[in-house]
Amino acid sequence: MKCKLLVIGAGPGGYVAAIRAGQLDIDTIIVEGGRAGGTCLIRGCIPSKALIHAADKFEQMTAHASDGHLGISLESRPVLDFKATMAWKEGIVDRLNGGVEGLLKKAGVRQIKGWAMFRDAKTCDVETKSGIVTITAEHVILANGSKPTELPFLPFGGDVLSSTEALTLTKVPKKLVVVGAGYIGLELGIAYSKLGSEVIFIEADTRILATYDKELTAPVQQWLQANDITVHLGAKASGWKDNILSYTDKDGKAQTIAADKLLVTVGRKPNTEGWGLENMAVDMTGAFIKIDKYCRTAMKNVWAIGDITGEPMLAHRASAQGEVVAEIIAGKKREFNPNAIAAVCFTDPEIIAVGLSASEAKAEGIETVIGKFPLMANGRALTMDAGDGFVRITARADNHVIVGIHAVGPHISELSGEFALALEMGARLEDIEGTIHVHPTVTESFAEASLAALGHAIHI
């Protein structure tokens, strides 16, 4: 087979690139070894958020069954049919998977299901159910994604789970130990705690969510404490045998914990092995494929997007890169140079980080002003029983251009788009102040934070 564009990987980077290329009348083939949608849709973002939503519902109903809540009480505790919950989750995945395949077909993209092995930069052999298919292309987009990092002394298998297996369980474990208190571990650990598991975290760092500042993570830490979830900080796992985890605590003392399941979430690594990358003559930067602002690799007409190109490993970054590359191949003038990419942690409460914090700005020599507004002063947040948290804006002191927006609170992830838009458009504090925000909504907290930075907040 021959084509102008060959896309490897049908995740959020690859399928967006292929769809946009098809819309631009580029003859495109996309190869995917699994199901269209990639890690995000099939075994990551979507199924985990479905599980988190179900866990929230179960926790809320359980609260109504005790002393009652919000004046609502249930005569008995809710009953969890976890197999049915997971079937509901899979129904969502199936629906979205079918939607992606339908969109690829609508755009005229040829889909090949199989594993690609590159002979050289523009030719690969794809192992399909019906045999080997050889594809030669003028352009190649590598969108191979990433996979969970496996510790050599805690190999995945049996009762040792990666995030993938944690999303396919059919029974809620009575006791779950999570190695790693980053965003993946905390999202899944908190969800399983709400579903009834006794959850314990083992984290090598001295605090949870080490990539976020302490002010943002403090409400999550408080939630863990309020719900009697043990977090061993400065602790290092060392082995697993007969459902007993061995680790050293912060004082260097050997300890053990027995558990039904062990979830290992110590990060993700790029999928760069097993498909002939070494035959493509591309440059690397550490474990990642090196690209420029156009997502070009060192090999002419070979492009790379998404997790295999480095941090941040976020689906929406991959999608944006995919669209840019497709348009460049079509002859349009594009580059991937965003002002900021929002990152969201779906813990309880949720966290948003866009742009620079005050300390990061200071490190870059930027003098700043900061405005912070607590959600407990926001009427809509209180009506949703969601008053924990805040919105914080960091802006330049000289011209009030916003350089960072951070927030923590229940349901706060839905504000991430507005925050990213503000930074992408180079908004100043006065722009946010002058935008009339609907009342009553949580977004009013964004306007109030800008007023606080200007020195005249109304509601605090």
- Active site amino acids: 439
Give the C-alpha separation, 354 to 413, whole Å: 11
Give the integer Cα–Cα distance in Å for 373 and 388: 11
Q: Two tokens at 359? A: 């300390």
Q: Which of 261, 45, 53 is nearest to 146 (CA)?
A: 45
DSSP bridge partners of 110: 29
Helix (H, G, I), strand (E, B) or coil at 404: strand
Closest C-alpha among 360, 356, 414, 354 to residue 384? 414
Q: Which residue has the tokens 């507004």?
A: 373
Sequence-distant (≥ 6) Cβ neighbours of residue 284 within 8 angstroms: 290
The residue with tokens 């008995």 is: 76
Between CA 246 and CA 244 the distance in angstroms is 7
Q: Which of 245, 90, 238, 82 is nearest to 176 (CA)?
A: 245
CA distances from 66 to 60, 70, 75, 394 (A): 10, 12, 9, 42
Residue 259: C-alpha distances to residues 63, 243, 418, 426 (Å): 26, 6, 42, 50
CA 48/CA 93 separation, integer angstroms: 11
Length of the chain: 460
Q: Are 100 and 18 in contact (CB under 8 A)?
A: no
Angle, helices 45-64/183-194, rounded to nearest 10 degrees: 40
Alpha-carbon gap, residue 6 to 110, rounded angstroms: 10
Residues 6+ apart with CB under 8 A from 403: 355, 356, 361, 366, 368, 394, 395, 396, 423
Three-state DSSP at 111 gives strand
